[in-house]
Amino acid sequence: MHTIAPADFIAGMAKGMAVLESFDTQRQRLNATQTAQRAGLTRAAARRHLLTLAHLGYLETDGSSFWLASKVLRFSGNYLASAQLPRVILPKLNQLASLTQDSYSAVVQDEDEVVIIARSDALHGSTRGLAYGLHLGARLPVHATSTGRVLLAAKSKPEFVQWLKGRTLARLTAHTVTDAKALTTIINRARTDDHCLAFDEHELGVAALAVPLRNMQGKTVAALNVVAPAAVNPEALLRERLPVLMQAALELRGVL
């Protein structure tokens, strides 16, 4: 996050963005009171922002509740069309999918979540590519995903400790690691191994293997993963897919 001089900060814009960010998969529809609680605003301020955003076409309403309108996709669509990272990674993901008949994604971290910014095309004659509903733009919890853990491992140990401090790690399945000490052990191992495996933690039936994507300066800018059925043998997944991921990461390094 970039620093900004107080005189340059537009509080109204920040509040409007906070209102938009109040909507998520758990709360698709919000009224003014709920929005105020989520955005940290008074009810009156939340109502004015909701009405303004609805007037501009970014929200829809029935007069009481509000929900996101398709116009908000302009932001994600423009990002995916113009940002360099998804454009340079996507051809490699499709190449890998064609080679192994698996599904590949690239993600970046956004605070407590990872966001899928590039995803291999669906495989013809196969349902494996879309089996888990991990669509482009999907947001997943950092702590319960292989990619999230790789990105957390890219932080220095003090940075990771600061990130973890005071956080509640949500339980998504019976296998999700929610203990801070246990997660720290996993992150330390990912930092040493330079890859991470996750089984049944974000969603039952899902196994994923991830490696970091680094630029020429050695900075981790994203994570690359492959998704497979959780029934797959962990040793087999490492043996057969880790070399593929590592080679792809090496080839991409020169263009990131």
Q: Tally the domains of the chain.
A: 2
The two structure tokens encoding residue 147: 């990619």
- Record the pTM: 0.75
Are 34 and 121 part of one and the same domain?
no
Structure confidence at residue 83 (pLDDT): 73
- Name the residue among 83, 91, 69, 119 with its Cα closest to residue 224: 119
Q: Residue 163 CB: number of other CB atoms within 10 A?
A: 17
Range of the domain at 38: 7-73
Considering the domain architecture, whether residues 26 and 118 belong to the same structural domain is answered as no
Structure tokens at 245: 């991921």
Are residues 54 and 169 both part of a single domain? Answer: no
Using one digit for the tens of pLDDT, what is the confidence trace for 160-183? 999 999 888 999 899 999 999 999
Same domain, 121 and 207: yes
Summarised one tens digit per residue, pLDDT across range 100-144 is: 989 999 999 988 889 899 999 765 444 444 444 467 778 889 999
